[in-house]
Structure 1
Amino acid sequence: MKLLKNTLGRVAAVSLSMGMLAGTSAWAGPTAQVVWTSEKNPGDGAWFNGPISFPYALSQQASATFTNPTSTSATTISVDPTAQYQTILGIGTSLEESTVFNLARMSAAKRTEVLKKLLDPATGSGMNFLRITLGTSDFTGRTFYTYDDRPYGQTDTSLTYFSIQKDIDYKIVSTLKEALAVNPNLKIFASPWSPPAWMKDNQSLIGGKLLTQYIPVLATYYRKALQAYQAQGIPIYALTVQNEPLYTAPDYPSTSITSDQERQLIIAVRNELNANGLSGVKIWAFDHNFDSAASYVAPVMSDATANAAVDGIAFHDYAGDPSAMTTVHNSYPSKNMLMTERSWWGTAGADRMAQYFRNWSVSYNAWVTMLDSTIKPEQWTGTPGPTMLIQNAYTYDTYWALPEVYLIGQYSKYVQAGAKRISSSYGSSTTVTNVSFLNPDNTIASVIINQTGSNQTFKLVSEGQELLATIPAKTVGTYKWTRQSTGTPTNLLANPSFETGSASSWASEWHNAAVAYKVDTDYPYLGSYKLTLFEVGAYQQLLGQSLSVSNGTYTASVYVRSGGGQNVLRLYAKNYGGAEKTAEIGSGVVTNYTKYTISGIQVTNGTIEIGIWADANANNWAAFDNFELVKN
C-alpha cells in the first residue's frame, strides 16, 4: 500500500461569473485563493483495509476574482469583517499514546513525513494545537499507568515516587519534541484520565471517585507533571483538570469529580502554578459533553476565586448540541470556549466544525490520530471508527491518509492563530454552509461546505463585492483573499489596542479603593490584548489619554463588552475647549463587542483627552479595545 499522492484527482476550474452593475463598467476586485477537499466513504471501516482514492485533497483550484454584484440567482453567503467575535487559538488533533505507539514503530524519516503531513503549515495541513494525556487514557498500547503508581494499599502524599519516565520510555516525549521541530508554533495542552489510584475511593485507575482529602496533593501532582514536561523542553499551554468528570468507565482510566471538587481543585492548581513559575499555564474547566456543561460549571464559576483561575471551559461532543457553548459563553463572556475532543468524518464533520466556531469555540481538536489496519492499539469499550491516518499493521512505514487529514486542513492551514471569527451567513445544509475568519495578516478565510450530492453555485458577498462560484458535491472549499483597504482616516491615539501589553500612553488615571484596570489577553476585539475593568469590591476607575491635536472636528470611538451592573460606564471626551461629551454604555449587559461613538467633538484649544470612566459595583467587569480618535 502506498501513500495517496498522484492518485488524487487533478484540479478543475472553479466556475465564475464576472458581473457588472447596470450602467457601469466591469470591475475586478481582490482575487481569492481556492482550495478543495472532498469526502470519501466517511466513517467507513473499509478504510482499515487500505487506501481509497478521492478527487480533492487540499487541491488548489483556479483563483477566483471578486467583481461588482451580479443579478445571478444563487445561495448568498454575506461576509462582514467589521463584525468580529472570538479569537481563534488553534486547530489540531491528539498525540495520545495509541498514535505515538504507532509512530514509534516507523523509521525516523517516515515519522517525520507523517508529522509534516499533519503539522507543517507550508507543506501539510498546518495543525497547530495538540492534546496529550497525563498518564494513559483508553487509547494506549500499554498497561494503564499514572506518574505515581503505588502497590495496593500504599499512598505517596509527598509524591516521592513521582516520575514521567514512562512517557520518556514510551517515546511520547521524543515524539512531541519532533512535532515541535516540525511546527515550533504548536500549542500543547494536557488532560488526565485518572489520578493515581491511591487518591480514589476504589483504589483503582478504572472508575471510582476522587477523595476530596487528596485535592491538595493532586494539584501538586499536576504541577510536577507540567514542570517535568517543561524540563524536557515541552511547554504545556493549558491543562484540563479531569477528562470527562461525569463518566466513570467500566474498563479504562476515568474518575468521577463533582463540580465542588473541581472548584476546589482548580483553585489549588492555580495556586500551585502561580507559586512555582507556571502562572502562564491556562486552566480549563469541565472537559465533557455539551448537555451537562451549564449545570456542571455553574458552581465552579459562581466562586469568584475559581472563576478568576479559569481561562476557559472545554467541551466534548458526544451528547447535546454545540449551542450549549453559546449558552455558557453568554453566562461567562470573558472565558474561552474550547472544543477539546471529537472526531468527525466527511463534509458533515466539516459542517459540525463550522457549528463549533459559530458557537464561540476558539479551538478544535480531533481525538486519536492513527490506529493500525487491525484497529490497534486501543482499550476503549467500543470499536473505533477509522482514524485520519491508518498504519499498515505489518509494514510499519506504510500508511495512508483519509480525507479527514485534509478536511481539517481546510481550516487549520488557512485560519491563523489569532484570527477573528467574523459575521457570515450560515447558509443551508441543502445548499452550502459557511463560517468565516479574518486573519491577523488581513486575509479573510471563508470555509464553504457542500454536503449535498450535487454541485452547488453560491455567491460570497463582502464589503460591496461579489464572488460567484460553484463547488462540487460532497466537497469543502476554502476561499481566501486579502481584505482591501477601507481608506479609514489615521487613528491619532497611541497604543489604542494595548498591543504593547500595557497601558502605556494612557497616563490620565484615577481610582478610589483599588486599581481596577489591567491589560490582558482574554477575548480581545483585535490583536492580542485588550483593557479590562474589574474588581471584587465596588470601584471607581478612570483611564484616559491626553494629546495635542490641531483644531477641528473629531470623532472618538471604542469597542466594548460588559457584564453589566455598573452605576456609570462611559466613553468620554474632555479638555478640548468645550463641555465634556460622553457615549453612555450604561448598566446593561453588552454580550458582543459593540462600537460606542462620540461625534462632533469641536477642538478649539489644541488638546483633547479621551478615556473611560466607571462607577461600578463589586465584580462588575467591562472590556475595551480598539480605541480611536480621528479628525473628520
Structure 2
Amino acid sequence: MQIMEGSAEDYAHVTQTGFFYTIKRNGKETVIYCGDRWSDFAGNGLGYNQWFPLSFNGSKPYFNSLSSWNLDEKTGDWTVGTDNNYVKNGSFEADRNKIPSNFKPIQEQLLGWKTEIIKGNKISTTDANSPQLNYFNTENDRKEVIGEKSLNITDKVDFTRVITQQISSSPYVILEDGIYTLTARIKNSKGFNELKIYANTGDVDYKFNIETENSSWTSIQIPNIAVKNGKITIGFFADGMANAFCLVDDVTLVKK
C-alpha cells in the first residue's frame, strides 16, 4: 500500500478509499475515485460518497482534491468547476485526533496547514502545556459550521501565532490568475491585541482585521484578491492574552 500523491494534505478530501470507476471513451480512459465519508460520526447526517478524477504520470496515479468539477459524459474529459474551493482541509475535518497527537502516526501539525508559534507554549506531542490546534465542535456548533472540528487559536499564556497554507497549481490543476474571494467562519472572544485573516500574493498583502468579540459564528471575507503566477498564501495571525480564543471553520478560496 502507498499514499497516493495529491491526497496527503487533506486525507483524500476526508475520505477512505471505496472503489474506482473507469470511463472509456474514444480510445481514452478516465479513472474516477470514489471515497466514502462517515459524516454521521461528525454529527451532520449519514455517510455519503465523494467522487474525484485521477490523473496519471505514466502508471503513477495523482489524486485531484476538488470540491467542484465537471465531467463530459460523451468524451470522458473533466474540468475544474468554476466554484471550486482551492483550500485544502478548509473545514479541518481531515485530522481525526486532537492535534498535536502522540498516537500513531505521531503528528504535530494540522494537515494542509502550518502553525508557527512566535510567543507562547510550543507545539509538542508529549508536553501537557502544548496548545491544541483543533477544536471539537459542539452539537450547536455543528448547526452553524461543517463537521466536528475547527481551527483552535488559543493558549494558557499570552501568545502570538501564525497559521498559514500555501496554495499553488498542481501538475494537473492550475490555480488560474484572476480575482478570488477568501472566506471563513469565526467565533472569538475578547483579549486580542491583533487578530486577522490575510492573503499574500507575493507583492500584495490583503487582510481583514477582526476587531470585536464574536460570541456566535460569523462570516468574514476578503474580496478582490488578485492571484498571479499560480500561487497564494492564506493565513491567520493572532496576538492574544492568556485564554483568549478564536475558532475558525469553513475556509474557502473561490475564483470570482
Per the alignment, do residues 542 and 416 of structure 1 end up closer, same or farther by CA in structure 2, a change over 3 Å counting?
A: closer
Partner of residue 230, structure 2: 606
Q: Is 1:519–2:134 an aligned residue pair?
A: yes
Partner of residue 178, structure 2: 552
1:297-446 map, 5 Å: 418-419=43-44, 439=45
CA distance in 1: counterparts of 2:112 and 2:214, whole angstroms = 27
Partner of residue 493, structure 1: 87
Report the AA paired with residue 520 of structure 1: Y
Please say if residues 569 and 585 of structure 1, whose CA atoms lie closer than 8 Å, have aligned partners that are also in contact: yes
Report the AA paired with residue 225 of structure 2: I
1 or 2, which has the higher helix percentage? 1
Deviation at 1:569, TM superposition (A): 0.8
Q: Is 1:615–2:235 an aligned residue pair?
A: no
Partner of residue 208, structure 2: 583
Deviation at 1:610, TM superposition (A): 0.7
Runs of 4+ aligned residues of structure 1 deviating over 3 Å after TM superposition are 439-442
Deviation at 1:631, TM superposition (A): 1.1
Q: Is 1:528–2:144 an aligned residue pair?
A: no
Structure 1: stretches of 5+ with no match in the other structure: 1-414, 420-438, 443-486
Q: Is 1:540–2:160 an aligned residue pair?
A: yes
Partner of residue 254, structure 2: 630
Per the alignment, do residues 556 and 490 of structure 1 end up closer, same or farther by CA in structure 2, a change over 3 Å counting?
A: same
Deviation at 1:593, TM superposition (A): 0.8
1:557 aligned counterpart, secondary structure:
strand
The number of residue pairs the alignment matches comes to: 153
Per the alignment, do residues 490 and 591 of structure 1 end up closer, same or farther by CA in structure 2, a change over 3 Å counting?
A: same
CA distance in 1: counterparts of 2:238 and 2:42, whole angstroms = 33
CA distance in 2: counterparts of 1:596 and 1:626, whole angstroms = 11
Please say if residues 508 and 545 of structure 1, whose CA atoms lie closer than 8 Å, have aligned partners that are also in contact: no
CA distance in 1: counterparts of 2:46 and 2:253, whole angstroms = 22
Per the alignment, do residues 559 and 440 of structure 1 end up closer, same or farther by CA in structure 2, a change over 3 Å counting?
A: farther
1:151-300 map, 5 Å: none
CA distance in 2: counterparts of 1:608 and 1:416, whole angstroms = 33
Deviation at 1:596, TM superposition (A): 0.7
Structure 2: stretches of 5+ with no match in the other structure: 1-39, 49-80, 100-109, 123-130, 169-174
Please say if residues 555 and 600 of structure 1, whose CA atoms lie closer than 8 Å, have aligned partners that are also in contact: yes
Once the two structures are superposed, what CA deviation does each residue of 1:159-199 show, in whole Å capped at 9, x if it has no partner?
A: xxxxxxxxxxxxxxxxxxxxxxxxxxxxxxxxxxxxxxxxx
1:490 aligned counterpart, secondary structure:
coil
| Identity between Structure 1 and Structure 2 (%) | 27
Deviation at 1:564, TM superposition (A): 1.7
CA distance in 1: counterparts of 2:89 and 2:176, whole angstroms = 20
CA distance in 2: counterparts of 1:605 and 1:508, whole angstroms = 25
2:184 aligned counterpart, secondary structure:
strand
Per the alignment, do residues 578 and 600 of structure 1 end up closer, same or farther by CA in structure 2, a change over 3 Å counting?
A: farther
Deviation at 1:551, TM superposition (A): 1.3
Please say if residues 115 and 161 of structure 2, whose CA atoms lie closer than 8 Å, have aligned partners that are also in contact: no
Q: TM-score, normalised by structure 2?
A: 0.54
1:571 aligned counterpart, secondary structure:
strand
Partner of residue 563, structure 1: 189
CA distance in 2: counterparts of 1:490 and 1:603, whole angstroms = 15
CA distance in 2: counterparts of 1:618 and 1:607, whole angstroms = 35
CA distance in 1: counterparts of 2:115 and 2:242, whole angstroms = 23
Please say if residues 578 and 603 of structure 1, whose CA atoms lie closer than 8 Å, have aligned partners that are also in contact: no
Report the AA paired with residue 116 of structure 2: E
Once the two structures are superposed, what CA deviation does each residue of 1:352-380 show, in whole Å capped at 9, x if it has no partner?
A: xxxxxxxxxxxxxxxxxxxxxxxxxxxxx
1:137-148 map, 5 Å: none
Per the alignment, do residues 418 and 553 of structure 1 end up closer, same or farther by CA in structure 2, a change over 3 Å counting?
A: same
Deviation at 1:440, TM superposition (A): 5.8
2:133 aligned counterpart, secondary structure:
strand
Determine which of 597, 612, 622 is the counterpart of 2:221: 597
Partner of residue 360, structure 1: none
Partner of residue 509, structure 1: 116
Per the alignment, do residues 618 and 510 of structure 1 end up closer, same or farther by CA in structure 2, a change over 3 Å counting?
A: closer
Deviation at 1:509, TM superposition (A): 2.9
CA distance in 2: counterparts of 1:498 and 1:416, whole angstroms = 14
Please say if residues 577 and 603 of structure 1, whose CA atoms lie closer than 8 Å, have aligned partners that are also in contact: no
1:567 aligned counterpart, secondary structure:
strand
Report the AA paired with residue 236 of structure 2: I
Larger Rg: 1
Please say if residues 42 and 147 of structure 2, whose CA atoms lie closer than 8 Å, have aligned partners that are also in contact: no
Partner of residue 102, structure 2: none
Report the AA paired with residue 598 of structure 1: I
CA distance in 1: counterparts of 2:217 and 2:82, whole angstroms = 20
2:192 aligned counterpart, secondary structure:
coil
Per the alignment, do residues 417 and 631 of structure 1 end up closer, same or farther by CA in structure 2, a change over 3 Å counting?
A: closer
Per the alignment, do residues 620 and 440 of structure 1 end up closer, same or farther by CA in structure 2, a change over 3 Å counting?
A: farther
Once the two structures are superposed, what CA deviation does each residue of 1:75-107 show, in whole Å capped at 9, x if it has no partner?
A: xxxxxxxxxxxxxxxxxxxxxxxxxxxxxxxxx
**What RMSD in Å do the two structures reach over aligned CA positions?**
2.4
CA distance in 2: counterparts of 1:537 and 1:550, whole angstroms = 41
Relative contact order higher in (CA < 8 Å, ≥ 6 apart):
2
Q: TM-score, normalised by structure 1?
A: 0.23
